[in-house]
Chain A
């Protein structure tokens, strides 16, 4: 009897599913498309002020370290699922792995390859300072050798002989009893709404940009000139609750309020405004946080339709619903609270696995009030590939998927 499980996707919910199953004694293959696991949440920042605001981002590195050292979890990075055969209890998963020019099991992350790499930026790099697995990878698009030139510097300097340019893509067949799909989401592309000016004006950012800025720099300055931003606006529901995306993304009100609170905490003089349709303040302890925010942040009901830059300032045109007026106001910086959308490549994985896509493009479940079981027995969904979720909900969903998969494994016993 086969006590293995494949988890596709190494983000918040995927690593949770993997850990739950591995801790219950099953072998887990964690298949990750990127060179490091962690998914999107691993690139998010802590939003604590003088107290924790419960964004849950800190749960991810903890779990990643657990995954990295777990003897029952095999992490397959740079890998995608190319085929599937068999049925619940006896699946064969075909995995395609990009060539591993730097062998994971030989790399000690000493960084000497990057030291001698002649390209700028370096072709050999670590995906991030806290990447898991912590190992160097070679960027095929930059590496001189892989682009046909003669260069052998890194191979010559590597002290553990980890580098080999002749490595080919690998094809692996995994025999597993069940599959958990945890491929995550894509952030809504704010460029699709041209009138909001994202990509055109430097001081218009998205929530995702803010995550990266705070993670790397710890505070926010104007991208255009590095000066303090005095007037900041958040615009909610960008790419949510509209014609193309008829659902609430569930995360944006929370992250916007946490960022707003953090910005006010760092710079009490900054004026922060949140434009919204309906504030989603449900959830454990969140109503109290909202009360606290109301004291220091301006909330305006009504979502702006147009932002124009005039002499370095952003003029926001919006309908102030509570006042019943169309108004204009200038800000130094505007953040678009972009929502969660299904991954564009979902359909191709759906085709390989034979599972269905729902109305909004997320993977579909077989019945209402069951958010984990797909139309194919033995294939389960975890996290945001099934629909929008915040980090705690994604983690909870990852556990639920693991629990569902356990049922299949128990049956196989």
Chain B
């Protein structure tokens, strides 16, 4: 092996480099030891290049600064020299040695380098290669988020198939008349999207269909789709979940049933669409928010839009009961101000209000914190709170794919490293309502993220993988399934190697290199190259040797 030492421009004055060189020269398998002033600069790279090209070595040890700062540079240089960078071992003698310790640290530096040498001896080459990936994407759900995702992917030249449970596209948004103050209504927007999808050759639509089975991994998902009596399989490179959300109107907390003068936002919108059909104009309308769900961005936004529409089209008196008005989305504070300017009264409670029907009207009783007194409102209509719930089938699909859900049961773990749209499984993405992200502005950024995520995975039709960086030894594997259960990335499957034995096999493409499987394997059958037991022990055992 070849050893390069760097004294960082001569600044590592508490290390005696000639002494280290003299010590290590005695090792049998060391071909040469070079001392440089600046391995990371052009002249340093030239020195490494000429040495590696002229000497016949199969391992490289570099003792310099933090791997975080420079490792990529050395790796790239070795790649250019066609020297497998997995045979490089680094020792940090600057940040973790010279800078952190007082006085002469030659001895510590020597030990650090010896550790790197000990590891280098056992390093095995890991090859990189390109594997083909399927460029088509499955979009689950034909609502706004699903359709928008498909259209955006098509714009970038990626083919998609939309699978929609219902018989038509449009989803929930189809049922909502425009938000207040918009020139084009949401319905018009939706209609133009449906037309665009029908014309788009990159998008195929399967309605009245459902996914019944998912197999395989990123680049090659094998999806079984059922609908009616037919069932068939298709292959996709990635899956975007856009299955939306369900709502529960006037949740049971009130022990009241919706209907009559207790209506949903949707019923209200129907009324606003054709106010002339109303037998009697409602004099007073009450809205209630935040009673059973404080994650109420969308209900707040739709209420704010609808109260303004009510003031304009019906002229009714409007009272909004809420706990904390959710104004942390774009434009919400403006709508709130506008509503107050138009005479809408906002009442804030700490304790949930009491609601009951009385003489054909609805009574809302709440202690308003601003007045400090109990307010009793008799209203002709109550627009009830709607709680968002995960879409049907979330549990089934998430367990089929082995992906987590959040505390409310929506898709996607509460893990900031996955936000906005990713899951622990590569190539499985979530957008909009099904991950609990309910306001339109944020759903749009989800969609863009999912589109970018699948584009960068699949656009080239192939992906670079490290071949068997994490490898199962078929002799030792007892097929106990421990690794399969532990793998957060769904990268391990059982495979029959010959007729008598099944062993775990790790997909190079789906593997994220987290090492969990190697840690849990009771038979020690899984080897993570660069971090194997032997390599780590070799490092440790060198100390003091």
Count residues of B near A (Cβ-Cβ below 8 Å): 70
Q: Would A396 and B445 count as touching, CB distance under 8 A?
A: yes
Q: Among the listed B155, B436, B452, which residue makes an inter-chain contact with A284, where contact means beta carbons less than 8 Å apart?
A: B436
Chain B: CB-nearest residue to A159: B9
Indicate whether B467 reaches chain A with its CB closer than 8 angstroms. Answer: no
Q: Would B328 and A250 count as touching, CB distance under 8 A?
A: yes
A20-B456, A399-B445 known; A282 vs B333 contact (CB < 8 Å): no
A24-B456, A71-B76, A106-B41 known; A284 vs B437 contact (CB < 8 Å): yes
Q: Measured between alpha carbons, how far is A301 from B407 in the docked complex, in Å?
A: 27
Interface residues of B in 331-357 (CB under 8 A from A): 331-334, 337, 348, 350
Q: Measured between alpha carbons, how far is A317 from B156 in the docked complex, in Å?
A: 58
Q: Among the listed A24, A285, A287, A396, which residue makes an inter-chain contact with B446, where contact means beta carbons less than 8 Å apart?
A: A396
Please, which residues of chain B bring their CB within 8 A of the CB of A396? Answer: 419-421, 442, 445-446, 448-449
Stretch at the interface among A181-189, A227-235, A400-408: A400-408
A20-B456, A108-B38, A282-B295 known; A371 vs B328 contact (CB < 8 Å): no
Interface residues of A in 243-273 (CB under 8 A from B): 246-248, 250, 253
Please, which residues of chain B bring their CB within 8 A of the CB of A323? Answer: 372
A241-B333, A290-B294, A400-B448 known; A392 vs B416 contact (CB < 8 Å): yes
Report which A residues bind B (CB closer than 8 A). Answer: 20, 23-25, 52, 54-56, 58-59, 65, 69, 71, 105-106, 108-112, 134, 158-160, 241, 246-248, 250, 253, 276, 278-288, 290, 301, 321-324, 368-372, 387, 392-393, 395-397, 399-400, 402-404, 406-407, 410
Q: Measured between alpha carbons, how far is A219 from B298 in the docked complex, in Å?
A: 37
Q: How far is the CB of B450 from chain A (nearest CB, A)?
A: 9
What sequence of 0s and 1s flags, for each residue 428-452 of chain B, a beta carbon within 8 Å of any chain A beta carbon?
0000000111001110111011011
Q: Measured between alpha carbons, how far is A286 from B419 in the docked complex, in Å?
A: 14
Indicate whether B389 reaches chain A with its CB closer than 8 angstroms. Answer: no
Q: Among the listed A105, A246, A397, which residue makes an inter-chain contact with B337, where contact means beta carbons less than 8 Å apart?
A: A246
Please, which residues of chain B bring their CB within 8 A of the CB of A278? Answer: 324-327, 348
Indicate whether B455 reaches chain A with its CB closer than 8 angstroms. Answer: yes
Provide 13 A-B residue pairs closer than 8 Å at the C-beta atoms, listed in order of the A residue. Answer: A108-B38, A160-B41, A280-B324, A284-B414, A287-B293, A287-B294, A322-B372, A387-B330, A393-B442, A396-B442, A397-B445, A400-B445, A406-B455
What sequence of 0s and 1s flags, for each residue 351-382 of chain B, a beta carbon within 8 Å of any chain A beta carbon?
00000000000000000011110000000000
A108-B9, A159-B11 known; A402 vs B452 contact (CB < 8 Å): yes
Q: Measured between alpha carbons, how far is A392 from B456 in the docked complex, in Å?
A: 20
Indicate whether B274 reaches chain A with its CB closer than 8 angstroms. Answer: no
A59-B416, A108-B41 known; A403 vs B152 contact (CB < 8 Å): yes
Please, which residues of chain A bring their CB within 8 A of the CB of B445? Answer: 371, 393, 396-397, 399-400
Chain A: CB-nearest residue to B94: A110
Q: Measured between alpha carbons, how far is A404 from B446 in the docked complex, in Å?
A: 13
Chain B: CB-nearest residue to A386: B330
Q: Would B419 and A392 count as touching, CB distance under 8 A?
A: yes
Please, which residues of chain B bring their CB within 8 A of the CB of A112? Answer: 9, 11
Please, which residues of chain A bring their CB within 8 A of the CB of B414? Answer: 54, 284-285
Indicate whether B37 reaches chain A with its CB closer than 8 angstroms. Answer: yes
Q: Would B452 and A20 count as touching, CB distance under 8 A?
A: yes
Q: Measured between alpha carbons, how far is A108 from B297 in the docked complex, in Å?
A: 49
Q: Would B38 and A159 count as touching, CB distance under 8 A?
A: yes
What sequence of 0s and 1s flags, for each residue 475-494 of chain B, a beta carbon within 8 Å of any chain A beta carbon?
00000000000000000000
Q: Measured between alpha carbons, how far is A52 from B416 in the docked complex, in Å?
A: 10
Q: Measured between alpha carbons, how far is A400 from B441 in the docked complex, in Å?
A: 11
Indicate whether B417 reaches chain A with its CB closer than 8 angstroms. Answer: yes
Top 4 A-B pairs ranked by shortest CB distance?
A: A159-B9, A324-B372, A400-B448, A110-B11
Q: Which of A59, A301, A370 has the most CB of B within 10 A?
A: A301
Please, which residues of chain A bring their CB within 8 A of the CB of B294? Answer: 281-282, 287, 290
Interface residues of B in 282-341 (CB under 8 A from A): 293-297, 324-334, 337
Please, which residues of chain B bring their CB within 8 A of the CB of A110? Answer: 8-9, 11-12
Report which B residues bind A (CB closer than 8 A). Answer: 8-12, 37-38, 40-41, 65, 68-69, 72-73, 76, 152, 155-157, 182, 293-297, 324-334, 337, 348, 350, 369-372, 406-407, 410, 412, 414, 416-417, 419-421, 435-437, 440-442, 444-446, 448-449, 451-452, 455-456, 459-460
Q: Which of B68, B152, B328, B416 has the most CB of A within 10 A?
A: B328
Q: Among the listed B333, B370, B452, which residue makes an inter-chain contact with A24, where contact means beta carbons less than 8 Å apart?
A: B452
Q: Measured between alpha carbons, how far is A395 from B135 in the docked complex, in Å?
A: 25
Q: How far is the CB of A13 from chain B (nearest CB, A)?
A: 10
A20-B456, A106-B41, A410-B157 known; A248 vs B328 contact (CB < 8 Å): yes
Q: Would B295 and A395 count as touching, CB distance under 8 A?
A: no
A279-B324, A322-B350 known; A371 vs B295 contact (CB < 8 Å): no
Q: How far is the CB of B47 from chain A (nearest CB, A)?
A: 14
Q: Among the listed A284, A287, A324, A403, which residue makes an inter-chain contact with B451, where contact means beta carbons less than 8 Å apart?
A: A403
Please, which residues of chain A bring their CB within 8 A of the CB of B459? Answer: 24
Q: Among the listed B156, B295, B417, B437, which residue makes an inter-chain contact with A410, where contact means beta carbons less than 8 Å apart?
A: B156
Q: Would B296 and A282 count as touching, CB distance under 8 A?
A: yes
Please, which residues of chain B bring their CB within 8 A of the CB of A392? Answer: 416, 419-420
A110-B11, A403-B451 known; A241 vs B444 contact (CB < 8 Å): no
Q: What would 14 more interface pairs be, CB under 8 Å, given A20-B452, A285-B406, A324-B371?
A: A56-B416, A109-B65, A109-B69, A110-B11, A160-B9, A246-B337, A279-B324, A287-B295, A321-B369, A369-B440, A371-B441, A387-B330, A393-B442, A410-B156
Q: Would A395 and B37 count as touching, CB distance under 8 A?
A: no
Q: Would A371 and B350 count as touching, CB distance under 8 A?
A: no
Q: Would B452 and A399 count as touching, CB distance under 8 A?
A: yes
Q: Measured between alpha carbons, how far is A56 from B414 in the docked complex, in Å?
A: 11
Please, which residues of chain B bring their CB within 8 A of the CB of A371? Answer: 330, 441, 444-445
A392-B416, A396-B449, A403-B451 known; A282 vs B326 contact (CB < 8 Å): yes
Please, which residues of chain A bring their CB within 8 A of the CB of B12? Answer: 110
Q: Measured between alpha carbons, how far is A186 from B65 in the docked complex, in Å?
A: 35
Please, which residues of chain B bring their CB within 8 A of the CB of A241? Answer: 327, 333
Q: Measured between alpha carbons, how far is A286 from B350 in the docked complex, in Å?
A: 19
Q: Would A404 and B448 count as touching, CB distance under 8 A?
A: yes
